[in-house]
Amino acid sequence: MAPRRRRRRHDRSGQGDPVRLGAHRRTVRDLYHVMLTVSWPTLCAGLALIYVLCNLVFAALYLIQPGSIANAAPGSLADTFFFSVETMSTIGYGNMVPQTLYANVLMTLEAMSGIAVFALAAGIVFARFSRPTARVLFSNVAVVTRFDGVSTLMFRCANERRNRIIEAEVRVYFAREETSPEGMTLRRTYDLTLSRSRNPLFTFSWTVMHPIDQRSPLHGIDPDFLASQDAAIVVTLTGTDETLSQPVIARHSYRADEILWGRKFVDILDRLDDGQRVVDYRRFHDTVESET
């Protein structure tokens, strides 16, 4: 059994996230994208912080005119803050009420602002919940073994949800660093032809195969050469979620040290005595030494 490797975050080319020197920083226009991509704890903390800051701003504005809030302690930021919370949340306990024209105008503006803030927060949370995502499991490693007499690159993918991905399509690319005759270093990407790139009903497991024949960009390449070229195998899987009828996409990549040569995946398909088919995902990542 091959040891499992810890995964690191990869970019689209299969390498770790690079340091972006001189790139433009995020602007306000990126705020929506950031809120859709950050973790749930970060999003909840950010929304809570915005809510508190908005109420603090209105609490300070109420303090500008002394005595504008009835039953509030003179100069008390706490009282005006909690009055702001009642106004923005439309709670309306009635203990403190605005008693001047200035306070009523400010209360009206805060009520309108509260509607906008809650609407935006609800929209962001709904967008995160409703965004279609794929739960596709990729094998920790890829293998190179002989299949039908030809050296073949293989890896596994599986649909972890109990539904189907309709018209699933896998595309595999070989990315590596090359130096041109003029001395220019660049990263090039080559398409890898697959034995079967489409799956009409992706339900359980799918072993993706690329024959390494004379037309393959991997022909004649050994593990040491892959490592020296900082090469990677980049995989994208697209399809339509059967439940949501929405397109989904999954991405994965394999570094040179995650491609095992002379090994093959263990069989995970079996049948019970009553003929029922079984898929053993406990052995999904396991490999054994190839006999050829």
Pairing outcome for strands 287-289 and 150-159: unpaired
CATH code of the domain in which 51 resides: 1.10.287.70
Instruction: Please give the Cα distance from 204 to 279 (Å, whole number).
Output: 7
* Host domain of residue 42: 28-130
- Write out the DSSP string of 210-250: EE--TTSTTTT--HHHHHHTT-EEEEEEEEEETTT--EEEE
Instruction: Please give the Cα distance from 54 to 6 (Å, whole number).
Output: 42
∠ Cα 85 89 92 (to 5°): 80
Instruction: Please give the Cα distance from 252 to 140 (Å, whole number).
Output: 10
Question: pTM of the full predicted structure?
Answer: 0.69
Task: Answer whether 152's CB lies under 8 Å from 144's CB.
Answer: yes
Last residue of a domain, one of 113, 130, 147: 130
Pairing outcome for strands 205-211 and 247-255: unpaired
Last residue of a domain, one of 104, 130, 156: 130
Helix (H, G, I), strand (E, B) or coil at 40: helix
CATH code of the domain in which 274 resides: 2.60.40.1400
Do 124 and 141 sit in the same domain of this protein? no
- The count of structural domains within the chain is 2
Helix (H, G, I), strand (E, B) or coil at 15: coil
Do 111 and 240 sit in the same domain of this protein? no
Do 78 and 209 sit in the same domain of this protein? no
Per-residue pLDDT of the chain (292 residues; tens, 9 = 90+): 444 444 444 443 445 556 666 556 666 677 888 888 889 999 999 999 999 999 999 999 999 999 899 988 998 999 999 999 999 988 877 788 899 999 999 999 999 999 999 999 999 999 888 877 778 999 999 999 999 888 999 999 998 888 889 999 999 999 988 877 887 888 888 999 999 999 998 888 899 999 999 899 888 888 888 888 788 999 999 999 888 888 889 999 999 889 999 899 998 887 777 777 788 888 899 999 887 6
Last residue of a domain, one of 97, 130, 163: 130
- Cα R_g (the chain), whole angstroms: 29
